[in-house]
Structure 1
Amino acid sequence: MNLGRWWRTIRDIPPRQLAARVQFEIKARSLPHLPLSLRRSLALGNPIPTPPLRQGYLKALEFPKIPQHFAPPEATYTFTFLNQSRQLAFPIPWNSPDYPRLWQFNLHYFDWVREVLTRGYQQGQVDGASLSQLKHFIDNWIAANPLCSFDGWHPYTTSLRIVNWTFATRAIPTLAKPEIITSVWFQVNYLHRHKEYFAGGNHLLENLRGLIIGGLNFDCPKAESIVRLTLDQLAQQLAIQILPDGGHYERSPMYHLIVLNLVAETVACLQNAGWSIPDTINEPLHRMLQFAETIRLSSGLFPLWNDAAYDIANPLDEVVSWVRQLLAQPSTDATDALHERLLQASGTCQAASILTQTSVTTSSLLTDSGYYILRNATGIELTFDCAPPCPSELPPHAHADCLTIDLYCKGQPVIVDTGTSEYSSGTIRSYERSTLAHNTVAIANQNQSEIWGSFRVGRKAQPNNVQSGTFQEWQWVSAAHNGYANPPLKAWHQRWVGLETKAIVILDRLETALATEYTSRLHFAPGLHLIYEPETQVYACELKTTCLYIQCLGLTADDEVKWLDADTSESWYAPEFGRRYPRGYLQIKGSLLPKGKIFCLVLTLDSRPKMTWTWHNQQGKLQFENGEILTWHFQPRNLVVLE
């Protein structure tokens, strides 16, 4: 056991949060082994008998036509989560060591209920086969997962299941049998006493959504008390978790969309039940919506910063569309059928003016989140990550990716980060979180942040010297980080990125107290290939509508520049869980001496570059000439454009 790494991992976690984690682990291991009566008393606090349902709650979800007969269960059913399919015999084996943990969590979520409801709304009625399947699965889950049996009763799976069962029983009243409603009531009471204070972040917000939407389902003082307390906690957490620029503080666009969606669903259900929405929830919701709109790329996707994939959250345009309508703002018509019903339930009319979705064409400077997207009129989008890896007390979704960049040309991904294909501990997870998996620089073959396990981070790289501005036709951002600042390396990395009409400059400045080596990588989208032209010392890459040329400047004979194609690079692109697509990368590798190093990548579109590179060491400045001159002036541990 590496005690130093453990210490660096837990030292940023508040004692109260650590105590909550210990308490949770003790309960998770002990409660399932107690007699059911004692288990119920300890886990539920002797709740009152199941109260009546709130009349008229989510009436807009109800199907006008519902089959009256249930078909017998089939021998086997196929479940597909995270792009992995498994055929399971009925009764369903809900918990198995053969399942990956996240796949098993998905089995307990019942998120596929939303697909059944959405398909039913599109067809005008829920089909008999789906209804029978849903009834059998819910009954079987109740029978096979007694109170406090994990993972079914993990607070996170419980939170999602409460919401999904509430929507299902309100949409299909024939499912609202006493045993099912009693189970929902027990789950609400259990979650009320087992919120994930030890985890915080999006997990705690999921708990709060489940308690509010599930609590509103019942008509009694106890349920109302739970909702009121939870509503206050939601406001408190949004004040903590939503940054001034609207981004979620875990700094993952995927989790930002999940959080935006769950807060909006909570608001819709509160409005349906006649509750007023406090400004402490309404105002952060507006900011979160604006952040989601701002990070939208012209392709309709978002950058894969930190843990992120495109198949977990609802598509960005769908989330933005229905939340805009919930907030009575003009929107697109890309709203899924279930959220259309929730809009009806909330009493919110769609705005009369329906807009066509357009891409953001101006640059996005999200300074609180630490994310920048430089855009120009030619369709180039250059993203720059100079964000902290995570909240200090919440490291699970952090990557060692500070100062990474992405490049998109007219919606086409050109240079992109790796993404996230799995959460299970192992080689794949470690690589996808590593510095070498991102488009930045690794020093001494180390990760900037001390990532380990599936979700742990010890020492965390922190950005500094963050600056941005414009100069002539250039937009630029510059930042450094302290990820290599500890002895014996005492190394430092600063990156300056600039975007002009058809040119991108990536300038790296490295310093170290100890002779070592560095590695810089640019990972290209699958299907792209670089061809080296020795006579011009330029790499060329054919894109859909243009050609990209790359020139490496400031290198010495000791530096090696190499293109590794998809067959030899061992790199991949993971835009979805469970899927990895081979791709190539351009690598610069060389020695790093205490005197430091400065090198530059110049990327131009359409025309071949003609550049000269001049370094004036005595004057502490560096000039790049391409028709006009850019001059960088160096200061101790800083780099600015002054002329």
Structure 2
Amino acid sequence: MSGARGKIGRLREGVAQIAFGNPIYKLTLGGRAPTALSIVPPDPWPGDATEGSALLAGVFRLGGQTVTVDPNGTPSWRAGNAGWLDALHGFEWMRDLRAVGGDAARRRARALVLSWLDHNGGWHPKTWAPEVMGARISTWIGLHDFYCASADDEFRARIFDSLARQVRHLTRVVPGALDGKALVTAVKGLVYGGFCLPDTERTGQDALRLLERELPRQILPDGGHVERCPSVQLRILRDLIDVRAVLRAARAEVPETLQHAIDRMTPALRFFRHGDGGLALFNGGREEDAALVDTVLAQADARGRPLKSAPHTGFERLIAGRTMVLMDAGVPPVSGLDATAHAGTLALEMSVGKERLIVNCGSHRTATGPWRSALAGTAAHSTVVLAETNSSEVLEDGGLGRRPSHVGCERQENDGAVLVVATHNGYSRNFGYLHRRRVYLAENGEDLRGEDTLEPVIGATPEPQDFTIRFHLHPSVQASLIQGGGQVLLRMHSGAGWRLRASGGTLELEESIYLGSGDEPRRTTQIAIHGHTGPDGNTVKWALRRERKGA
């Protein structure tokens, strides 16, 4: 499947090269260029002053890659990994320069934009990719007052000529083969171009109609996004808020479909937040900046408490006392919307107050290659691994191959206690087993119990297999084997203690890594419960209880 995707991608790129990569096409993008914006939309999103200061010093930390140039120089616009190029050409790092403030940051932003104009005036498959172009258009327009308002007439003329050309190209290639987050980002660029550049409102209206058709497909009834990634949930909601802000600034009607999507997505975003304000680590997601999440929720201006259950997106949230557990209890996204998807079916995360206890390993910003293979694998998640095999086939360049075709889930609540029972068949075809996970959280939040069962598929007589149940711990948690190796004592940064017991397998502490934030992996520990299936499968029971002081 990976090879087929690669061939299709190369074919499309070849066709695009013929259509767009010749001098004649560049001439077709010409036309009258605007001299000013008709409206300047608000841009409320915070930048990072530390990263902005690094940019002033010539250090570009983008897409999981760091490139250093002379403080007055510019990076190569064509060299770097895919994540680096997407981030560099999307220009969202200009918010970091804005966070620094002052003339030096403004001049640096202008110099980098000018360099881009000098080197990227014509089509290129990477730098003119529709989703990258959509991000660049909306950023250039949204940050206009920061880098462009005080510029000379020649610079402004070049900016507006380039914006007009990019918008013309984008109208020709969207939607094309785009889907999911990439399509929303590209459409956002068309909305910005259509409503903020003079005499292009038809482009904006066409983009709005496309967005209205797309939102009911991408935003599920429970408000979750179809890609099932908390970071994508944050990004899409932010993009929709921006689109609404453009329409309000232009005094245009906000479609009900757009407003309803924002209203539904907001509680779903709250659903994925841990007590520290960051997001859960599922399907390529990262913690994200808590201040940014706060800003997105505030700008959404939508009421609604966090959901208890997101059955359409396929996640469960157990909360009692100060304890919260999030569990992936859904089928992986379909092919084409699974670029960031992980093989983490039935994985869980747990936090107590503002501290994370059990986590998944996270994801690297490069998103492809060896990091993708390692972090998207089932072993990088707090769930069961059978026969050292992923529950979904992880493709190194993104997406999934073989995957569970069925994930069942039932939820019960009684007097504040919560029980979730979920089953997936990701191991049935190759090994003849189903994985069933029961998770119970007591009403006081201080007693979490689970059962992981590997049971033969009806009618099958599978071969015995080794398995491992993994609980990855946050780097701030200290773990030690006690009671002759029969239990694990966990000590959180606050000093709170938890004790894990298990039956049906052998407890061990092993090394792990954590990439929930930042570009460098942090060393941490995982609890591994090793076992072996018998003729009737096997069940491991485990319990995690809070330690009482003085006990």
Normalising by structure 2, what TM-score?
0.88
Residue from 40, 45, 48 that aligns with 1:58: 40
Question: In the alignment, does 2:507 pair up with 1:561?
Answer: yes
The amino acid that maps onto 2:435 is H
Question: In the alignment, does 2:63 pair up with 1:87?
Answer: no
Retained in 2: the 8 A contact 1:384–1:405? yes
For the residues of structure 2 that align with 1:589 and 1:546, how far apart are their CA atoms? Answer: 27
The amino acid that maps onto 1:174 is S
1:598 alignment partner in structure 2? 539
Q: SS of the residue aligned with 2:309?
A: strand
- Deviating above 6 A after TM superposition, structure 1's stretches of 4 or more consecutive aligned residues are 59-62
For the residues of structure 2 that align with 1:233 and 1:464, how far apart are their CA atoms? Answer: 32
RMSD: 2.8
2:308 alignment partner in structure 1? 364
For the residues of structure 1 that align with 2:41 and 2:413, how far apart are their CA atoms? Answer: 54
1:204 alignment partner in structure 2? 183
Deviations 1:534-563 (A, max 9, x none): 36932211222421011112x1xxx43211
Deviations 1:201-229 (A, max 9, x none): 00000001111012212221xx1111111
**TM-superposed deviation, 1:382:** 1.2
C-alpha distance 504-310 of structure 1, shift in aligned 2 (>3 A): closer
**TM-superposed deviation, 1:471:** 4.1
Deviations 1:356-400 (A, max 9, x none): xxxx7x8721111111111112x0111111122223432201000
Matches for 1:625-640 after TM superposition, within 5 Å: none
Deviations 1:18-37 (A, max 9, x none): 98x56641244435652x23
C-alpha distance 396-61 of structure 1, shift in aligned 2 (>3 A): closer
The amino acid that maps onto 1:495 is R
Retained in 2: the 8 A contact 1:370–1:386? yes
Residue from 152, 155, 161 that aligns with 1:182: 161
The amino acid that maps onto 1:530 is A
For the residues of structure 1 that align with 2:42 and 2:309, how far apart are their CA atoms? Answer: 40
The amino acid that maps onto 1:474 is A
For the residues of structure 2 that align with 1:514 and 1:531, how far apart are their CA atoms? Answer: 34
**TM-superposed deviation, 1:5:** 6.2
C-alpha distance 573-503 of structure 1, shift in aligned 2 (>3 A): same
Retained in 1: the 8 A contact 2:278–2:288? no
**TM-superposed deviation, 1:85:** 3.5
1:166 alignment partner in structure 2? 141
C-alpha distance 594-80 of structure 1, shift in aligned 2 (>3 A): same
Q: Rg: which structure is higher?
A: 1
Q: SS of the residue aligned with 2:516?
A: strand
Matches for 1:483-498 after TM superposition, within 5 Å: 483-487=426-430, 489-498=431-440
Q: SS of the residue aligned with 1:49?
A: coil
Residue from 285, 296, 317 that aligns with 2:273: 296
Question: In the alignment, does 2:240 pair up with 1:263?
Answer: yes
Q: SS of the residue aligned with 1:584?
A: strand
Residue from 209, 217, 234 that aligns with 2:211: 234
Retained in 1: the 8 A contact 2:532–2:538? no
Q: SS of the residue aligned with 2:69?
A: strand
C-alpha distance 411-152 of structure 1, shift in aligned 2 (>3 A): same
Question: In the alignment, does 2:521 pair up with 1:580?
Answer: yes
Question: In the alignment, does 2:536 pair up with 1:548?
Answer: no
Deviations 1:242-296 (A, max 9, x none): 0111111111111111110111011101111111011011111111112122332
Q: SS of the residue aligned with 2:133?
A: helix
Normalising by structure 1, what TM-score?
0.76
2:459 alignment partner in structure 1? none
Comparing 283-292 and 195-204, the one that deviates more: 195-204
2:293 alignment partner in structure 1? 316
Q: SS of the residue aligned with 2:126?
A: coil
1:250 alignment partner in structure 2? 227
Matches for 1:511-526 after TM superposition, within 5 Å: 511-512=455-456, 513-526=462-475
For the residues of structure 2 that align with 1:76 and 1:529, how far apart are their CA atoms? Answer: 38
Question: In the alignment, does 2:249 pair up with 1:272?
Answer: yes
Deviations 1:53-102 (A, max 9, x none): 454x127789xxxxxxxxxxx998332224643222465343344x2221
Q: SS of the residue aligned with 2:449?
A: strand
Retained in 2: the 8 A contact 1:100–1:424? no
Deviations 1:151-178 (A, max 9, x none): 3212122111111111233454234621
Deviations 1:105-136 (A, max 9, x none): 2111111222334554xxxxxx2212222222
Q: SS of the residue aligned with 2:297?
A: helix
For the residues of structure 2 that align with 1:129 and 1:319, how far apart are their CA atoms? Answer: 29
Q: SS of the residue aligned with 1:598?
A: strand
Q: SS of the residue aligned with 1:506?
A: strand
